[in-house]
Chain A
Amino acid sequence: MTQPLNILLVDDNGLRASIIEEGLRDAGHANVSIVTTVAGLVKRIEALSPDVIVVDLENPNRDQLEDFFQVSRTVKRPMAMFVDRSDTAEIEAAIEAGVSAYVVDGLKKERIKPILEMAISRFNAVSRLARELADAKSELAERKSVDRAKGILMKAKKIDEDTAYKLLRRAAMNENRRIGEVAASLVSAYNLLGDA
């Protein structure tokens, strides 16, 4: 049996880090640590001496981390980004998902690949959830604007609700915009005119 791998997850999104950690534990990796704050990161890395570090791509400290991997005398083992430069599809998938990974030189790629794949799929799942939530929120906001815009039109033009909606829809089609956007502009213009 080979030595278990020491894995460190650096992610300021603690929830996402926990979701990946759970996946890694289910896959049999017992030594998983999470760092969510940057403070003391370098000391943690020195203490943990991880074999694999997974960092979210948007982490502002990546330049600092990479410099640390390159020049620090306290890192006993050199770390390189990703493990198999020839696997461009995997690297693209990782960057698309927002994952970067640093691996101790000399580790077999068969051991790293499943870890990277796990991180990629869980990052994607978390982004999908976030996107769905944002979509739901904006849909709700749009529906509110449309209702408000209909009310304004009904009052100003003395028309019924159905006619008001058709007016909005026609304007959206003519301007090649979404009905929610047209409604939102109408509401803000109306507010600007001071008769709110």
Chain B
Amino acid sequence: MAESSFIRAGYVPLLDSAVLIAAAHMGFAEERGVVLSLQRETSWATIRDRIGVGQFDCAHMLAPMPIAANLGLGPLPVPMLAPMVLALGGNGVTVSSAVAAKMQAAGPEDFDTAPGSAGRAFAAAVRQRAEKGEPPLKLAVVHRHSSHNYDLRYWLAASGVVPERDVEITVVPPPLMPDALAGGGIDGFCAGEPWGTIAVARGAGRIVTSRAEIWRRGPEKVLGVTKTMARDHPDALEGLILALCEAARWCADPANFETLARLLAAPDRLDVDARTLLPGLTGRLETAPGRQREIPDFMVFFGDGAARPDSDHGRWLYQQMTRWGDAPLSEEGARIAGETFSPALFDAATGAADGGASGESPGERPSGLFDTAP
């Protein structure tokens, strides 16, 4: 092996930064000759800025972020690639106890067992407020260019709620979500774990549906890499992808969940109680005090091609961006989004066989959406 490569990466302290943290601290990077230097950041804006000026080679990113950068949206856009998916799913929709009670009243009793019935119950709560002339419910997401935002809107729209008209959607940093919900500043939020679990534990609300149910196995976080890094240091990037795959396999093994939770919970990483991380890892969530739900594929790090980017997913995310007015719709945009999520580098690094040609039409519906008949 040639001399080791030094790679600077930024991350936001969330459960789905697990693969990067495990790679850096459990020896996976080292084994591949990569010195992975991680830096914790408090906002996606700062991740984008440090990537933009070249202080980071790569970063933990919301899946739509590299697409937004390649479309030239927002400040400091630089050409990027998403050569690996770091996590699928992992988010929940949590509403305040007051909204949950309204949804419960609208029924049925077990409305939260499927996104369809949860959506109908939520739509009923929204209609009741409108009839009484009360202001629309305020929902928070972590960032505009996030799967939280797009999945929440998809679920609302499919349930008969017009996001731009019937509710207000705002941005709140994930660690502040439970307090904002408890204090009445917001009526609900869509954020990654452990923030839903923490909100329920504090008695502030109830998890009524999840990302894994709205779009099963949809990409949540990706490794965002600058095209400059991919061009100038292909060997280092290949080593990093292999190290991250091994770390992802380790993170996905239930035998390692306890160790992983302790590793992530440290004060200089997520700085939370390790016990709050286990529900997200196991997919057994306490969705309301005393109510346990087991959600299949709640959060996926590895297995069945989870880590391999998919151009169809890139185009689908782009279509969601255009649907909600974040980007103009064009064939060029769809092409850019598909290329951003190209699996070519992943396949070259892992030696995977070509996964076959993927669809070319912009925004072809991926599998796993809740309102698609199986």
Residue of A63, A64, A80, A92 near B75 (CB, 8 A) is: A80
Q: Do A92 and B53 touch (CB < 8 A)?
A: yes
For chain A residues 148-192, which have a beta carbon within 8 Å of chain B?
none
* Chain B residues with CB below 8 A from A70, complex form: 144
Q: Secondary structure of the A side of the interface?
A: helix
* Chain A residues with CB below 8 A from B144, complex form: 67, 70-71
Docked CA distance A70–B145 (Å) = 12
Docked CA distance A71–B44 (Å) = 17
Q: Do B43 and A59 touch (CB < 8 A)?
A: yes
Docked CA distance A67–B171 (Å) = 7
Interface positions of A (Cβ within 8 A of B): 57-64, 66-68, 70-71, 80-82, 85, 88, 91-92, 95-96, 100
Instruction: Scan B191-235; emit 1 where CB is below 8 A from any A CB, else 0.
Output: 000000000000000000000000000000000000000000000
* Chain A residues with CB below 8 A from B175, complex form: 60
- What distance in Å separates the Cβ of A69 from its nearest Cβ neighbour in chain B? 10
Q: Is B50 an interface residue (CB 8 A)?
A: yes
* Chain A residues with CB below 8 A from B142, complex form: 63
- What distance in Å separates the Cβ of B183 from its nearest Cβ neighbour in chain A? 10
Q: Is B355 an interface residue (CB 8 A)?
A: no
For chain B residues 64-92, which have a beta carbon within 8 Å of chain A?
74-76
Docked CA distance A62–B49 (Å) = 11
Q: Looking at B45, B144, B172, B176, which has the most chain A CB atoms within 10 Å of its CB? A: B45
Q: Do B49 and A57 touch (CB < 8 A)?
A: yes
Q: Do A67 and B143 touch (CB < 8 A)?
A: yes
Q: Do B45 and A91 touch (CB < 8 A)?
A: no
Q: Is B292 an interface residue (CB 8 A)?
A: no
Docked CA distance A68–B76 (Å) = 18
21 intermolecular pairs with C-beta atoms under 8 Å apart:
A58-B41, A58-B42, A59-B42, A60-B175, A63-B43, A63-B143, A64-B170, A66-B74, A66-B171, A67-B170, A68-B171, A70-B144, A81-B75, A81-B76, A91-B52, A91-B53, A91-B76, A95-B49, A95-B55, A96-B53, A100-B49
Instruction: Scan B136-178; emit 1 where CB is below 8 A from any A CB, else 0.
Output: 0000001110000000000000000000000000111101100
Docked CA distance A71–B169 (Å) = 10
A64-B173 in contact given A59-B43, A81-B75 (Cβ < 8 Å): yes
- What distance in Å separates the Cβ of A57 from its nearest Cβ neighbour in chain B? 5
Which residue on chain B has the smallest CB distance to residue A89?
Answer: B53
* Chain A residues with CB below 8 A from B143, complex form: 63, 67
* Chain B residues with CB below 8 A from A85, complex form: 76
Docked CA distance A63–B44 (Å) = 7
* Chain B residues with CB below 8 A from A67, complex form: 143-144, 170-171
Which residue on chain B has the smallest CB distance to residue A80?
Answer: B75
Interface positions of B (Cβ within 8 A of A): 41-46, 49-50, 52-55, 74-76, 142-144, 170-173, 175-176
Q: Secondary structure of the B side of the interface?
A: loop
Q: Looking at A57, A67, A70, which has the most chain B CB atoms within 10 Å of its CB? A: A67
Q: Do B75 and A60 touch (CB < 8 A)?
A: no
- What distance in Å separates the Cβ of A105 from its nearest Cβ neighbour in chain B? 13
Residue of A61, A63, A88 near B53 (CB, 8 A) is: A88
* Chain B residues with CB below 8 A from A95, complex form: 49-50, 52-53, 55
Residue of A57, A64, A91, A100 near B171 (CB, 8 A) is: A64
- What distance in Å separates the Cβ of B13 from its nearest Cβ neighbour in chain A? 10
Q: Do B53 and A62 touch (CB < 8 A)?
A: no
- What distance in Å separates the Cβ of B38 from its nearest Cβ neighbour in chain A? 16
- What distance in Å separates the Cβ of A120 from its nearest Cβ neighbour in chain B? 13
A57-B53 in contact given A67-B143, A67-B170 (Cβ < 8 Å): no
* Chain B residues with CB below 8 A from A59, complex form: 42-43
* Chain B residues with CB below 8 A from A62, complex form: 42-43, 45-46
- What distance in Å separates the Cβ of B174 from its nearest Cβ neighbour in chain A? 9
Task: Please give me the 6 A-B residue pairs with the lowest Cβ-Cβ distance, nearest first.
Answer: A81-B75, A67-B171, A60-B42, A62-B45, A62-B43, A92-B53
Docked CA distance A22–B144 (Å) = 36
Residue of A60, A68, A91 near B43 (CB, 8 A) is: A60
- What distance in Å separates the Cβ of B51 from its nearest Cβ neighbour in chain A? 10
* Chain A residues with CB below 8 A from B54, complex form: 92
* Chain A residues with CB below 8 A from B42, complex form: 58-60, 62
Q: A63-B143, A91-B53, A92-B54 are in contact. List 16 more A-B contacts (CB 8 A).
A: A60-B42, A60-B43, A60-B176, A61-B173, A63-B173, A64-B172, A66-B74, A66-B75, A66-B171, A67-B171, A68-B171, A81-B75, A95-B52, A95-B53, A100-B45, A100-B49
Docked CA distance A92–B55 (Å) = 9
* Chain B residues with CB below 8 A from A60, complex form: 42-43, 173, 175-176
- What distance in Å separates the Cβ of A67 from its nearest Cβ neighbour in chain B? 4
Q: Looking at A59, A60, A68, A100, which has the most chain B CB atoms within 10 Å of its CB? A: A60
